[in-house]
């Protein structure tokens, strides 16, 4: 009985980890394809395919601040999601305007 209980707890913890993983990453859509297909920025590995770039894990920083840093390296974005938080149109515009190359 004890082994069954421990097995169930282990399985439940794995499901929790699998569900938490997407909220630890980031995704963006660029307005134009980037010059580089890969970029390491603040410890996150960004990989781009066409105009879509993803990083599987990123630091727990404010989304707008992080967006500015990424935009400064890759170019203007039309969409930006950071650790499960998608910027609205005003946030995307602020990000693109405030980014400094």
pTM: 0.74
User: Quick one: pLDDT band at residue 6, thresholds 50, 70, 90?
Assistant: very low
Nearby residues of 56 by Cβ (< 8 Å), 6 or more positions away: 21, 24, 25, 45
> Residue 34 gets which letter from DSSP?
-
Residue 11: the pLDDT is: 47
User: Quick one: pLDDT band at residue 9, thresholds 50, 70, 90?
Assistant: very low
* Digit-coded pLDDT (tens) for 33-71: 999 899 998 889 999 999 999 999 999 989 999 999 999
DSSP output for 37-79: SEEEETTEEEEEETTEEEES---S--HHHHHHHHHHHH--EEE
> Residue 99 gets which letter from DSSP?
-
Domain ranges of the chain: 26-97
Nearby residues of 25 by Cβ (< 8 Å), 6 or more positions away: 54, 55, 56, 57, 58, 83
């Amino acid at each position: 009985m004890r082994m069954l209980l421990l097995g169930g707890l282990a399985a439940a913890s794995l499901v929790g980890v699998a569900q938490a993983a997407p909220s630890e990453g980031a995704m963006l859509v660029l307005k134009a394809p980037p010059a580089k297909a890969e970029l390491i920025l603040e410890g996150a590995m960004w990989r781009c395919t066409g105009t879509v770039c993803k990083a599987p894990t990123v630091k727990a920083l404010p989304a707008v601040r992080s967006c500015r840093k990424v935009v400064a390296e890759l170019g203007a974005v039309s969409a930006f999601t950071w650790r499960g938080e998608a910027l609205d149109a005003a946030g995307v515009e602020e990000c693109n305007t405030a980014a400094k190359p």
